[in-house]
Structure 1
Amino acid sequence: MDQPASSGLVTYELRGQVAIIGLDRPEKRNAISDRVVAALTEAVVRASSEAKAAVLTGRGPHFCAGLDLAEHVEKPLIEAVKGSRTWHRSFDLIERGAIPFVAAMQGAVVGGGFELAAAAQIRVAESGAFFGLPEGQRGIFVGGGGSVRIARLIGAHRMADMMLTGRTVGAAEMERWGGVNYVTGEGEALDKAVALAERMAENAEMSNYAVLNALPRIRDMSSEDGLFVESIMSALTTATPEAEARLRAFLEKRAGKVEAPKDA
């Protein structure tokens, strides 16, 4: 296991095939500044080159309280636009990159923190986590991809409700809305996220890459175009040596069958 490395803003640890990337500003509830985005991007690029899956987490009692407003309020208009586009590029490396990400969330998952979590493929929240989009009350608008990613997760009408009224939503309700995949007990989200990441790291690399990069693009296509891309990706993944080896292992009964869930 590699020892955790830190930029003072973001920590990085390689645990087997899983990289654990942590926001490290607990005194600011892990608020995201331009420097945090730069450090996060560096960590994501590193993880993509040496890990098979990754976990996003936040140090301290909160995952992330969103945009560092002290920095944002002083920005000229054009710099605010450029800053938003930098967030987009950084978070896109998570959503449509080389390896899958799991967000492990506790406490506040607010504004830009929710936008960051929405870029991950899987979201795990502790039961006490809460979600908010207070941009309407702050006189601003989401700028980290939330109008696309969060709206597609929970629906534009629910996102509008949160932004317009300042409504906060608990983990259990957010799971029902589709913004969370798993809810755990307090203090258990990181362990659950790492276990999920370890499971995903065992998948065929090409299959993971197809899920990350084909699914979000197919979602944006017409049905006919999406089905065509699906056929191409299906053929490409099946044609890899790893797919052949895994299929033979199943046919020769060296790989287990799909089982019903234990709580069925």
Structure 2
Amino acid sequence: MNESLITYQLDGPVALIGLNRPDKRNAINDPLIDDLRSAVLRAHEEADVAVLFGHGSNFCAGLDLAEALARATGQIKPPRKRRRHNWHEVFDLIARGPIPFVAALHGAVVGGGLELATAAHVRVGDESLLCGLPEGQRGIFVGGGGTVRIQRVVGTTVMTDMMLTGRLLNAAESLQEHVVRYLVPTGEALNKARELAARIAKNSLETNWMIINVLPRIHDMSHDDGLFVEQLNSARARPPEAEARLRDFVDGKAEKLQRHPA
């Protein structure tokens, strides 16, 4: 992993993964995707939760259009054999891997940046946030999983409007359309994301895995199949850690539930 494009830091059980092309607004090119893959796989092994953020004044401005133009004009030759899109592969490692990801969003979160953000399981935005899908104005179409992830977050109507008109969602609109679940003052998104990641890390690894892997699959199933898969997972043999947590609750030793501010 080239730490000039992606930074990586382990803070206890939380991995901090930073996009580090601030002069290009953290635009995504193939070298960045390769390094992001390495960082995500490292977090899978070392961490219980990961935080994804962008260095500089933006989270991610999406596809590196200079690279896209080079590919469109034949300066970058396509592979001899068709294979899975590298963005799809890496974003799925985030969305359906073994650990939850929290995204800290600020500034531009557009195009591929929004596709990357919606691969995370919890998203925090600050007041500088601007979300958009400018592909329609660039003569291209979303290609990093947006037709699946973004559409399921904001709905077909909102995504269609964003793509056809080039409309940008501000911070309040991003909260309203469920792009983010938490909205904080400018400059505070990363701190809030780290706070949430530390809280998530207190859950059992098994439960976190089921939340991020079973829930989205049940979403795609019929009513009966969803209930069947839910029963299969809830009836699994519980590890000793789960038994200890249940006993603490029954014995009045468990931490009491609290309402945490959004």
Does the TM-score normalized on the shorter chain lie above 0.5? yes
Any idea what the Cα deviations from partners look like across 1:88-137, whole Å, max 9, x if unmatched?
01000111001000000110001000000000000000011110100000
Distance 1:178 1:140, change over 3 A: same
Residues 174-193 of structure 1: CA distance to partner in whole angstroms, max 9, x if unpaired? 11111111000011000000
- Per the alignment, residue 178 of structure 1 pairs with 178
CA distance in 2, matches of 1:73, 1:91: 23
Give CA deviations for 1:62-112 in whole Å, capped at 9, x if unaligned: 000000010011225983996871100100011100100000011000100
* 1:240 and 2:236 are equivalent in the alignment: no
Q: Deviations over 1:157-178 (max 9, x none)?
A: 1001000000000111111111
The DSSP-based 3-state class of the residue aligned with 2:85 is: helix
**In structure 1, C-alpha distance between the alignment counterparts of 2:54 and 2:130, rounded to whole Å:** 14
- The alignment-based identity, stated in percent, is 54
Q: Once structures 1 and 2 are overlaid, which stretch shifts more, 159-168 or 68-77?
A: 68-77
Q: RMSD of the alignment, in Å?
A: 2.0
Matched, 1:39 2:38: no
Summarize deviations over 1:30-62 as a string: whole Å, max 9, x none.
Answer: 000011111001000000100010000000000
- Secondary structure at 2:175 match in 1: helix
What residue ranges of structure 2 are gaps of 5+ in the alignment?
none
Long gaps (5+) in structure 1: none
Task: Report 1:51-66 matches (<5 A).
Answer: 51-66=47-62
Amino acid in the other structure paired with 1:112: G
Q: What residue is the counterpart of 1:199 in the other structure? A: 199
Encode CA deviations 1:140-170: one digit per residue, 9 max, x unaligned: 0111101100000000110010000000001
Q: Quote how far apart the aligned CAs of 1:6 are.
A: 5.3
Deviations 1:211-249 (A, max 9, x none): 11101111111111011111111122x622111110001
Question: Does 2:78 align with 1:96?
Answer: no
User: Runs in 1 of length 4+ with deviation above 6 angstroms?
Assistant: none
Please state which structure has a larger fraction of its residues in helix: 1
Q: Give the structure 2 partner of residue 165 of structure 1.
A: 165
SS of aligned partner of 1:8? coil
Tell me, yes or no, if the aligned pair for 1:84 and 1:143 is still in contact at 8 Å: no
The corresponding residue for 1:48 is: 44
Give me the TM-score of the superposition, normalised by structure 2.
0.94
- Secondary structure of 1:119's aligned partner: coil
